[in-house]
Amino acid sequence: MARPGIESIRRQQLIDATLSVIETHGFQGATIGKIAAASELSVGIVSHYFGGKQGLLEATMRYLLSCLQQDASRLMASRPSNPRESLMAIVDANFSGVQTHAQSAKTWLAFWTQAMHSPELMRLQRVNERRLLSNLIFHLRQLMPPGPAQATAQTVAAMIDGFWLRAAMSEGRIEPDQAVALCKTYIDQAIQANNGASK
């Protein structure tokens, strides 16, 4: 008979193995064989649970996105409702937890590349991007006029992506602290530059 929860266990096993293999061998080198070996399962199991390689890759990206969203929710909940502090929490969330590890950074870059030619991955990517931008604008809007708020939000989003990219490229260690500090410095500069402009 079916053991309870065996399906979710196997799915997570395969997703973890996929992340590990992509980090080690890159997106191109992530073959079913290597993923199966890393998960200590067989190659056939992938088709059984995910319908094929593409399904596994999409599930893996969904997992990464959900981790990001959880980090964000957790950090937003534990902060005061001060707009500036909320912005800082958003920055922290985008560099905390899974995102700061080289494994995730490389995998994100791989998925970004892949997403450009996969409608479903692209859709997931856009949803995530929209959410980040909306959150930033919502809080910035309480500190500056609409125009600068929009511009600042897009700049912060670009900075976050840029630092992720550098994190993925730098082979050894990443400096998430430095990236976070630079983002926060920019936000304060933007607030200062636009302070009292209209309000």
Query: Is the separation of the CB atoms in 74 and 63 below 8 Å?
Result: no
Give me the count of residues in the chain: 199
Distance between alpha carbon 50 and the CA centroid of its chain, in Å? 22
Q: Could you give the string, one character per residue 117-146, with x where binding to DNA holds by CB under 7 A and - elsewhere?
A: ------------------------------
Asked if residue 144 lies in contact with residue 199, where contact means CB atoms within 8 angstroms, the answer is: yes
Q: Which of 5, 77, 171, 196 binds a copy of itself (CB under 8 A)?
A: 171
Which two structure tokens, joined as six digits, stand for 179?
Answer: 């990236």
Q: Which does 31 bind (CB under 5 to 8 A by kind): a copy of itself, DNA, none?
A: DNA
Q: Which residues contact 59 (CB under 8 A, 6 or more apart)?
A: 11, 15, 50
The binder of 54, among DNA, a copy of itself, none, by C-beta within 5 to 8 A per type, is DNA
Q: Is residue 26 involved in binding DNA (CB under 7 A)?
A: no
Task: Please select the residue that binds a copy of itself; options are 49, 63, 112, 138, rule is CB under 8 A.
Answer: 112
Binding status of residue 48 toward DNA by CB under 7 A: yes
Dihedral Cα 54, 59, 60, 65, nearest 10 deg: 130
Minimum CB separation from DNA for residue 8, in Å? 10
Residue 59's binding partner out of DNA, a copy of itself, none, with CB under 5 to 8 Å set by partner kind: none
77 near DNA (CB under 7 A): no
For 116-146, give one letter per residue: b (16+ CB within 10 A) or e: eebeebeebbeeeeeebeebbbebbeebbee
Footprint on this chain of a copy of itself (rule: CB under 8 A) = 25-29, 106, 109-110, 112-117, 122, 125, 129, 151, 154-155, 157-163, 165-166, 168-169, 171, 178-179, 181-182, 185-186, 189-190, 192-193
